[in-house]
Amino acid sequence: MKHKQLLDLDSQENQNIGAMEIKENGEEEQQIVNPWKVEAKEGGKIDYDKLIDQFGCQRINQSLVKRVRRLTSRAPHVFLRRDIFFAHRDFNEILDAYERGEKFYLYTGRGPSSEALHLGHLIPFMFTKYLQDAFKVPLVIQLTDDEKCMWKNLTVEESQRLARENAKDIIACGFDITRTFIFSDFDYVGGAFYKNMVKVGKCVTYNKVVGIFGFTGEDHIGKVSFPPVQAVPSFPSSFPHLFSGQDNLRCLIPCAIDQDPYFRMTRDVAPRIGYHKPALIESLFFPALQGETGKMSASDPNSAIYVTDSAKDIKSKINKFAFSGGQDTIEKHRELGADLEVDIPYKYLKFFLDDDIELAYIGKEYGAGRMLTGEVKQRLIQVLTEIVERHRRARAAVTDEMVDAFMAVRPLPNMFD
Ligand code: TYM
């Protein structure tokens, strides 16, 4: 378990972790997963089992899913039923507390680096909306406009503009305004939030932050000092207008597993400054059209389906770029069937086709060669076009006044009702 020892910051002894590149038996491994880069080993797929081992989180098993069903009295979200949210840290403790009648709050976020979100970005927000509805708990959403200003070389003003644009997409996911506070770092950091940042900063050495995030001497100090900003929304006292006097409130963070390094650091620090460690529930990456070697990325337009893509764009991207696990010729395909392990249209359906029976049917028929790639792509085009159209309509209904209302520093009236 060398990996776990190297990477589990939760254990005090092992502070110097390598989230960038990991060595095993003296050899360099090429799987890279961190907030800025997701890359499988050459020609391979992301090895999620290895990641769980390296990061020291736990796999979500069916008994945990059943427990969520029982506690919420509703069907668990497709993303939970199908192992898309596949890993966690202390999610069971959140459920224990909930069962005892204690509430918690949700925290998630977005780094506004582009005008439009891609489908991968929607995943944590769709899932967070389900959690908010199922558990009836408050939610804070951080827009790290400062992070993207520093990493993407955007001006302060442009990052702030993108934050508001992205807020519209987030609101379009259907969050309940009486339970949701959205904030931009440039607007909100200060006061109690900043005090917590300083407390966190004092607990993290330069060596430690280099070990976690892989900063080098060439990185500017803005980057090095950023991690506390993403850490402190995990602590209720960062939001005195919401959680005054509730320093014991637990926090649950839904995100993809690329954000884990921030929260390993946070969990390490939390007990030292008097807070619960935040719990996490983490997803796989919605893969690029070209295959499962990385995550869908906003910086390569042909790798991603955006929420702004037209029906025509979606059709042409899927037909042209979606990597197929089908065989080269129809004869061979009928004989051998599709390799579902690598087939992107099937994988995308697994994320977004709600109907379990239809998904199982497609898997069976396509895997046996009775269904062709073209037919599966056709169905996927329908499913994604519908989702993107629905999103577009919802976003068009989000006004600037609504953005202001979600971002106003205010108490949330129905927080725990
Ligand atoms: P960002 O903007 O890169 O991503 C926003 C959220 O989307 C997830 N994500 C994906 N999920 C599935 N498949 C993909 N291909 C994919 N790409 C991105 C990310 O994990 C994230 O949950 N620094 C953060 C913003 C942030 C944040 C947070 C995120 C601040 N506080 C708390 C999660 C939780 C960022 O730049 O995310």
Predicted pLDDT at 297: 67
> Is any atom of ligand 1 closer than 6 Å to the C-beta of 347?
no
Predicted pLDDT at 36: 87
Return the residue matching tokens 């009486």: 178
Predicted pLDDT at 294: 67
Predicted pLDDT at 29: 59
> Is any atom of ligand 1 closer than 6 Å to the C-beta of 123?
yes
Question: The CATH number of the domain where 317 resides is what?
Answer: 1.10.240.10
Amino acid sitting at position 182: I
Mean pLDDT of all residues in 1-30 = 39
Q: Give the distance (Å) from ligand 1 centre to CA of residue 194.
A: 22
* Rounded-to-integer distance, Cα 122 and Cα 93, Å: 26
Predicted pLDDT at 8: 31
Q: 245 with 141, same domain?
A: yes
Query: Is the whole model's pTM more than 0.85, yes or no?
Result: yes
Q: 258 with 217, same domain?
A: yes
287-323 pLDDT, tens digit per residue, is 999 998 766 766 677 889 999 999 999 999 999 999 9
Identify the band that residue 7 occupies on the pLDDT scale cut at 50, 70 and 90: very low
Please report whether residue 417 resides in a domain.
no
Return the residue matching tokens 């994604």: 384
> Is any atom of ligand 1 closer than 6 Å to the C-beta of 254?
no
Does 44 score more than 90 pLDDT? no
Kindly report the backbone phi and psi dihedral angles of residue 122, in degrees, each rounded to the nearest multiple of 5, phi listed first: -70, -25
User: Within the chain, how many helices (H) and strands (E) appear?
Assistant: 21, 13
Please report whether residue 236 resides in a domain.
yes
Q: Which of 6-15, 273-282, 333-342 has the lowest mean pLDDT?
A: 6-15
Predicted pLDDT at 11: 39
Mean pLDDT of all residues in 5-13 = 31
Work out the mean pLDDT of the chain and round it to a whole number: 91
Q: Considering the chain, what percentage of its residues have pLDDT values greater than 90?
A: 84
Looking at 256, 288, 320, the residue that finishes a domain is 288
Identify which of 298, 374, 385, 301 has the alpha carbon closest to the alpha carbon of residue 343.
Answer: 374
Q: 173 with 274, same domain?
A: yes
Show the tokens assigned to 37: 């880069």
* Rounded-to-integer distance, Cα 256 and Cα 259, Å: 6
Q: 345 with 240, same domain?
A: no
Q: 364 with 226, same domain?
A: no
Q: 269 with 349, same domain?
A: no
CA 311 to chain centre: 25
Looking at 255, 288, 321, the residue that finishes a domain is 288
Predicted pLDDT at 15: 34
Predicted pLDDT at 321: 95
DSSP per-residue codes, 229-249? HHHGGGSGGG-HHHHTT-TT-
Q: Give the distance (Å) from ligand 1 centre to CA of residue 255.
A: 6
Please report whether residue 402 resides in a domain.
no
Q: Please state, in angstroms and as integers, the Cα–Cα distance from residue 303 to each residue in 193, 291, 306, following that order.
A: 37, 9, 10
Show the tokens assigned to 383: 């499913």
Does 107 score more than 70 pLDDT? yes
* Rounded-to-integer distance, Cα 291 and Cα 285, Å: 11
Mutate which of 258, 290, 292, 306 to test ligand 1's pocket (most atoms within 8 Å of Cβ)? 258
Number of domains in the chain: 2
Please report whether residue 297 resides in a domain.
no
Q: 273 with 341, same domain?
A: no
Q: 117 with 69, same domain?
A: yes
Q: 221 with 122, same domain?
A: yes
Looking at 231, 262, 288, the residue that finishes a domain is 288
Please report whether residue 408 resides in a domain.
no
Predicted pLDDT at 40: 85
Predicted pLDDT at 4: 28
Q: Which of 183-197, 219-233, 286-300 has the lowest mean pLDDT?
A: 286-300
Give the domain range for residue 338. 305-396
Q: 273 with 322, same domain?
A: no
Class of residue 301 by CB neighbours under 10 A (exposed 0-12, middle 13-18, buried 19+): middle
Mean pLDDT of all residues in 138-164 = 96
Does 172 score more than 50 pLDDT? yes
Atom number in ligand 1 closest to CA 256: 20
Predicted pLDDT at 228: 98
* Rounded-to-integer distance, Cα 355 and Cα 359, Å: 6
Mean pLDDT of all residues in 221-243 = 97
Mean pLDDT of all residues in 198-223 = 96
Please report whether residue 235 resides in a domain.
yes
Report helix, strand or coil for 24.
Answer: strand
The residues that bridge with 85 in the sheet, in sequence order, are 283
DSSP per-residue codes, 256-287? EGGGHHHHHHHHHHGGGGT-PPPEEEEEPPPE
Q: Residue 95 in contact with residue 67, Cβ under 8 Å?
A: yes
Please report whether residue 184 resides in a domain.
yes
Question: The CATH number of the domain where 104 resides is what?
Answer: 3.40.50.620
Please report whether residue 247 resides in a domain.
yes
Q: Residue 296 in contact with residue 114, Cβ under 8 Å?
A: no
Mean pLDDT of all residues in 128-146 = 97
Q: Considering the chain, what percentage of its residues have pLDDT values greater than 70?
A: 91
CA angle at residue 359 from 355 to 361, to 5 degrees? 120
Predicted pLDDT at 3: 31
Does 400 score more than 90 pLDDT? yes
Q: 281 with 309, same domain?
A: no
Report helix, strand or coil for 98.
Answer: helix
Does 344 score more than 50 pLDDT? yes
Q: Give the distance (Å) from ligand 1 centre to CA of residue 258.
A: 7
Identify the band that residue 57 occupies on the pLDDT scale cut at 50, 70 and 90: very high
Identify the band that residue 49 occupies on the pLDDT scale cut at 50, 70 and 90: very high
DSSP per-residue codes, 281-312? EEEPPPEETTEEEEE--TT-GGG--BTT--HH
Q: 322 with 385, same domain?
A: yes
